[in-house]
Amino acid sequence: MTDSNRPPLTFAFFPDVAAFDVSSDDVADGEMLANAQVANFMGYSGENLSPQLSWSGFPAEAKSFAVTVHDPDAPTGSGFWHWLAVNIPADVNEFATGAGSEGSDTLPEGVLQLRNDAGTRGYVGAAPPSGDTAHRYVHTVHALDVEQLDVAADSSAAIVGFNLRFHAIGRAQIVPVFGA
């Protein structure tokens, strides 16, 4: 797949909002994901650890945050959601490595992790089909104008995205890649 044939980046069609900074000790724009952020299924033997993320410079009126990881290049017609964490308190501006991974208890109280497209709650690592060109993994931190999104624990990624569309007042992204 050539760059001109790739789907747009996640949230490209959302309204423009304030940009702010997100950084990571584990992932970087355009850089290959480490084995730590790769899945441990579909022929991969990764560690399935959510990356460390920290964010700053977000709008002062932010009342909460959400973190999403999406692969727009997945051969599904709708991409693949790897992580959706919402209702992150406004005074939190960092997640440690593995915070969103299965079995972790380091997320702040009240954070809701929704089901990813692998069917589990929390982070699931990269696992593109063998032979595909490198996929993009859009790590986004959303600054929101509400303390909590009006979503249930069993809400789909589409419902979360719908709510993010109307409540985001700021957005920051890191887009690493991974290919077999």
The string of pLDDT tens digits covering residues 28-75 is 999 999 999 999 998 999 999 999 999 999 999 999 999 999 999 999
CATH class of the domain at 3-178: alpha beta
Q: What is the pTM of this model?
A: 0.96
pLDDT, averaged across the chain: 95
H/E/C letters for each residue in the chain?
CCHHHCCCCCCCCCCCCEECEEECCCCCCCCECCHHHECCCCCCCCCCCCCCEEEECCCCCCCEEEEEEEECCCCCCCCEEEEEEEEEECCCCEECCCCCCCCCCCCCCCCEECECCCCCECCCCECCCCCCCCEECEEEEEEECCCCCCCCCCCCHHHHHHHHHHHEEEEEEECCEECC
Instruction: Return the pLDDT at 101.
Output: 94
The percent of residues above 70 in pLDDT, for the chain, comes to 97
